[in-house]
Chain A
Amino acid sequence: MNRRIAIGTAPLVLLAAAALAAPWLGLPDPNAQPDGLVLRDLPPGAVGHAFALADGDEVWVTTWERLPDGGVRYRRGEHSAVLGAERLAGGSPESALRTRHFPLGTDAYGRDLLSRLVWGGRISLFVGLLGAALALAAGASVGLAAGLSRGRVDALLMRGTDVVLAIPRLFLALLIVALHGASLGTTVAVLGATTWMAAARLTRAEVLSLRERGFVQAARASGAGPWRRAWRHVFPGAAVPLLVEGALRMGDTILLEASLSFLGFGVPPPTPSWGNLVADGKDRLADAWWIATLPGIAVALTVIALNLVADGVRERLGGGRASLLGDGGGTA
């Protein structure tokens, strides 16, 4: 096994498994705000305390002390009060005390950040995967059509690709969002619509070189029609480079989704996505640095892992574009 594939696959599998299994990991609801006062901006590793009440409610407390009569004196922010033993569930502080761990801390609304990071990864990875698949399908179709038809159709399609490339990606994406409104569906469509061009150029180049090869010529000589030649002979030859492109593209779409969501034009809140999480933390840098820091690292880890895998696959199976990691020559 190639070293790069191994190093890159491990975090990807871990992240994907966490994202897929999010509902069954026993994590709290990522959007639940049990107590916006006591639980806000807790640092990583913090522990929250609450008392369950006999009437089924619960009270989150900042600090508490036991009273001689079996009751509890607690403080919530500036405010302090007393709970008699009879109001506590089970009749004593021990039986009523609930503790909850916040391994990555909480945000300004007291939401659990570990849960939001995992559920956010579920959204970000899913949206990125769909966007990349869309880009790959669209790009491969355009490239295949251009490479096989040559002549005028080819020129038209490739100039069209140049035109889309001339509009800076983020501006194009934001214009589409401005016209159609931000939603999960718009985000996926925007990701596909703004990242297919590299796949189109790559596919066309592959097709142009493949169609001159012996086995395609032989298929032609034995009477295979253009569709059959394209599907059975040319397309499989371009599969590996496309696979590599797909991995690189997914890194791209994840980054773009994060940027869009960070700006507030991607996945609409309160649905967590990695970009949304950074946005949540951007105004709280001075007080709660962890809110914005961790999701950014999650994005970077994913993108680095995808690049490693793409590079490893390219190295092992041959073909495809070098990622930034590769030792490829000076072609962009």
Chain B
Amino acid sequence: MGRYALRRLAVAVPLALAAATLVFALLETAPGSPADLWLGDRPLPPEVRARLEHAYGFDRPAPERYLRWLEAVCLHGELGWSSLRSMPVSRAIGIALPPTLLLGGAALLIHLALGLALGMWSASRRRRGREAVSLAAVVLYALPTFWLGLMAILLLAVAVPLFPPSSMASVGAEDWGTLRRAADVAWHAALPAIVLGAGSAAGLARFVRSGVLESMGQEFVRAARARGLARRQVLRAHVLRTALLPVVTLLGLSVPVLVSGSLVVEVVFAWPGMGRLTYDAIRAHDVPLVLGATLLATALVVVGNLAADLATAAVDPRVRLGRGAGGRT
């Protein structure tokens, strides 16, 4: 397991570095000088501007700036100054990250629970269930996330006011007790998390279904049945365990979808997280903040994939011993 983890890490770290390099290269394609990007269009006296440019090395050639930037980002976590929030980018992100992780975590749970339930139900239904889940998958995929969010607000917050339409806490919630405040946040998180999680759940259900159907036809299932185990028991102990392996990998693959989706959902529901911050940053031309958010989003994806790989390896010895199989693609 240790060796496998090291091997995956040896892939993940260069991947993250290469992604950061690509982002830096993108910056170089922007019109204007690097100083314009980093200092923004704040009115500064020319001599102050020149001094800043020199102090931060904006007048150096691109390779040198790249190395200095990489050093600042990787070794010091220094992402620059956010003109929008008037604080270091790292602090602005630090404030916005917990709400996003909360929302993303809740969405991931909903995604998983709904995907498993739908997938298992449709596997037991044969053709009809199969078609229903396929249809639900394509319809949910085709409906834009922001539109689903607006419709959820329209139906469940405006027409039938069951949930709050936006933000993360009720007015005056600061004075409430911990438990009541937690309940308040959960109540506010319900709609955005459902929209974010349910959108892709039908896609997951398809994989669960094909996994279940595939492993039901395998020898060990027939053997278990032949030994006299009840159908339900076989399903739980034998079929599900094998069918769920690819699902773990798939959860890793759905992290980028959730990260991108959370940007839109946070804007629609005015959720004070990373997505909302990125949106505000672009509107305010706060390039360092957009950059920091993009790097963090990338890091989330790389870590998510790594975690999924390791989790798959932890439950499937075939993977960590390097014999392939196990539904990994």
Residues in chain A within 8 A of chain B (CB atoms)? 159-160, 162-172, 174-180, 251, 255, 258-259, 262-265, 275, 278, 281-282, 285-286, 289, 292-293, 296, 299-304, 307, 323-332
Contacts and interface: CB of A to CB of B under 8 A. Distances in A.
Interface stretch (B42-50, B183-191, B291-299, B317-325): B291-299
B9 to A, nearest CB: 15
Interface in B267-283: 267-268, 278-279, 281-283
Interface residues of B, number: 67
B144 A278 contact: yes
Contacts of B135: 325
A264 B278 CA distance: 13
Given A292-B147, A300-B144, A166 B246 contact: no
Nearest to B165: A285
**Chain A interface mostly:** helix
A259 B259 contact: no
Nearest to A326: B134
A259 B146 contact: yes
B141 A324 contact: yes
A172 B294 contact: yes
Interface string B241-284: 00000100010010010011101100110000000001101110
B327 interface: yes
The residue among A293, A301, A324 with the most chain B CB atoms within 10 A of its own CB is: A324
A292 B126 CA distance: 37
A179 B130 contact: no
A167 B305 CA distance: 12
Contacts of A275: 144
10 contacts: A163-B19, A167-B297, A168-B263, A171-B260, A174-B282, A178-B290, A258-B144, A292-B147, A296-B143, A325-B138
A331 B283 CA distance: 39
A323 B135 CA distance: 11
B282 A167 contact: no
B87 interface: no
Contacts of B327: 330
Contact of B19 (A167, A170, A265): A167
Interface stretch (B74-82, B203-211, B232-240): B203-211
Nearest to B28: A179
A170 B260 contact: yes
B6 interface: no
Nearest to B130: A327
B259 A171 contact: yes
Contacts of A301: 142
Contacts of A174: 263, 278, 282, 290, 294
A328 B210 CA distance: 8
A171 B142 contact: no
Nearest to A252: B141
B154 A329 contact: no
A119 to B, nearest CB: 19
Contacts of A164: 22
A179 B260 contact: no
Contacts of B154: 285-286, 289, 292-293
Interface in B28-59: 29-31, 37
Contacts of A176: 26
A323 B138 contact: yes
Given A167-B294, A171-B263, A329-B214, A178 B18 contact: no
B285 A178 contact: yes
Given A175-B290, A293-B151, A251 B142 contact: yes
A176 B282 CA distance: 10
B144 A324 contact: no
A38 B253 CA distance: 51
B282 A178 contact: yes
B102 interface: no
